[in-house]
Amino acid sequence: MSCAGQITLDNTICDGAEFDVEKDVRVFVENLKHIGGDNRAIIEVVASRTRSQRLEIARKYKERQGRSLVEILISRSNSQIKEIRDLYMKTYDHDVDDLIRRKTRGEFCDMLLMLAEPSRDESDEVPMDLLRRDVKALKRAVRKGGAIQYYAFNEVFCKKNFAYIRALFELYKQNSERDIYRDIRLYFAGYMKSALKAIAEYAVSPTGYFAHRLYRSMKGLGTDDNTLTRIIVTRSEVDMEQIKKIFKEKYKHSLESYIVGDTSFSYRHLLLKLVSSSKTLFESVNQVKHDGAILSSTEIAETYSF
Ligand SMILES: [Ca+2]
């Protein structure tokens, strides 16, 4: 086989038009999820992709796992995080922190370690003097760059309460051209940038954040079933009505219509029941629902079981 316009060492494989990175990532996610998954499907993907395509699949795969971990850690209370940590330790006989250190590096690793500590301020207090000091510190940090920048942002984004973070965004843009989103975009990259954006999005509107995550889990070819199921199960009795409302406003179609388009059979039926507003429907699926924290720990385990 020859590959027009491309020089490659293994010229039996070329960057074919049929390459769909999301689809390949799904093959990995699906088949690595359980022992006894279909290894042939994975081999098929690995063997029929070029080196650059394989690297892109690996990058996307890790990105997806990273996003899920950030979502879990920012949206759980300290007591839930503590529960996750204890359960993880009991199940796997090592610490969540060891796992984070093994699987991630650099600033992103430091950030996850901070997020995985059950120590976020859970009050609604917004002391103005502290706020002014932090805004100054962050603005100075982006000018200095390097370790100072990461430290300053982590201290705020991983530790402060969300009302405080919202107030900080407001103050940050007062008397200056810059808002914090612009500075995150300009001065951060990679996982760190997406994690900060996720925390910002969550702080401003948790329901908007989840609507966006649900949309991302279904848009385009295929479905990110882990994300879809996790969010629906954990939010169904918390704020699903608002999430549905925002979903419809932002994406012009109902969450239900997306679910119908992306899923089938009893899985579809269950998800639709969970997003429905009827109390009796909730009751009928109660036995299959997990406690939020327990589901999260399973998710963390699955997230990093590759
Ligand atoms: Ca889809």
CA of 15 to the centre of ligand 1 (A): 24
Confidence of residue 25 (pLDDT cuts 50, 70, 90): confident
Closest CA to 300 of 111, 134, 76: 76
CA of 184 to the centre of ligand 1 (A): 29
CA of 224 to the centre of ligand 1 (A): 8
Mean pLDDT throughout 262-283?
A: 78
CA of 215 to the centre of ligand 1 (A): 9
CA of 130 to the centre of ligand 1 (A): 44
The rounded distance, in Å, linking the Cα atoms of 121 and 100 is 22
Among residues of the chain, what percentage have pLDDT more than 70?
82
CA of 226 to the centre of ligand 1 (A): 13
CA of 218 to the centre of ligand 1 (A): 4
Predicted pLDDT of residue 111: 96
CA of 3 to the centre of ligand 1 (A): 31
Mean pLDDT throughout 201-230?
A: 94
CA of 221 to the centre of ligand 1 (A): 4
| Cα-Cα-Cα-Cα dihedral sign, residues 7, 10, 13, 19 | negative
CA of 222 to the centre of ligand 1 (A): 4
Confidence of residue 80 (pLDDT cuts 50, 70, 90): very high
Predicted pLDDT of residue 6: 44
Predicted pLDDT of residue 73: 95
Does the predicted model carry a pTM greater than 0.85?
Answer: no
CA of 198 to the centre of ligand 1 (A): 21
* Residue 172 predicted with pLDDT over 90: yes
Topology match between the domains 128-204 and 206-275: yes
CA of 213 to the centre of ligand 1 (A): 13
CA of 21 to the centre of ligand 1 (A): 14
Closest CA to 80 of 286, 254, 300, 269: 300
Mean pLDDT throughout 209-236?
A: 93
* Residue 34 predicted with pLDDT over 80: no
The rounded distance, in Å, linking the Cα atoms of 221 and 259 is 13
CA of 208 to the centre of ligand 1 (A): 19
Predicted pLDDT of residue 289: 41
CATH architecture type of domain 206-275: Orthogonal Bundle (1.10)
Beta strands in the chain (DSSP E): none
Domain 128-204 coded CATH 3.30.70.1400? no
CA of 262 to the centre of ligand 1 (A): 5
| 9-13, 56-60, 113-117, 278-282, range with greatest mean pLDDT | 113-117
* Residue 225 predicted with pLDDT over 60: yes
CA of 229 to the centre of ligand 1 (A): 14
Predicted pLDDT of residue 260: 93
CA distances from 124 to 97, 165, 255 (A): 28, 10, 31
Predicted pLDDT of residue 159: 98
CA of 263 to the centre of ligand 1 (A): 9
Predicted pLDDT of residue 300: 46
Query: Is-contact 142 183, C-beta < 8 A?
Result: yes
CA of 268 to the centre of ligand 1 (A): 13
* Residue 3 predicted with pLDDT over 70: no
Q: What is the pLDDT of residues 109-124, one digit of tens each?
A: 999 999 999 999 999 9
Torsion of CA 290, 292, 293, 297, to 10 degrees: 70
Name residues whose C-beta falls within 8 Å of residue 28's C-beta, 6 or more positions apart in sequence.
Answer: 42, 45, 57, 61, 306
CA of 261 to the centre of ligand 1 (A): 7
Closest CA to 247 of 213, 281, 276, 270: 213
Among 11-15, 44-48, 259-263, 284-288, whose mean pLDDT is lowest? 284-288
SS3 string, 56-105, reads HHHHHHHHHHHHHHHHHHHHCCHHHHHHHHHHHHHHHCCCHHHHHHHHCC
Domain locations in the chain?
Answer: 128-204, 206-275
Write out the two tokens for 104: 């991630």
Predicted pLDDT of residue 276: 86
CA of 162 to the centre of ligand 1 (A): 31
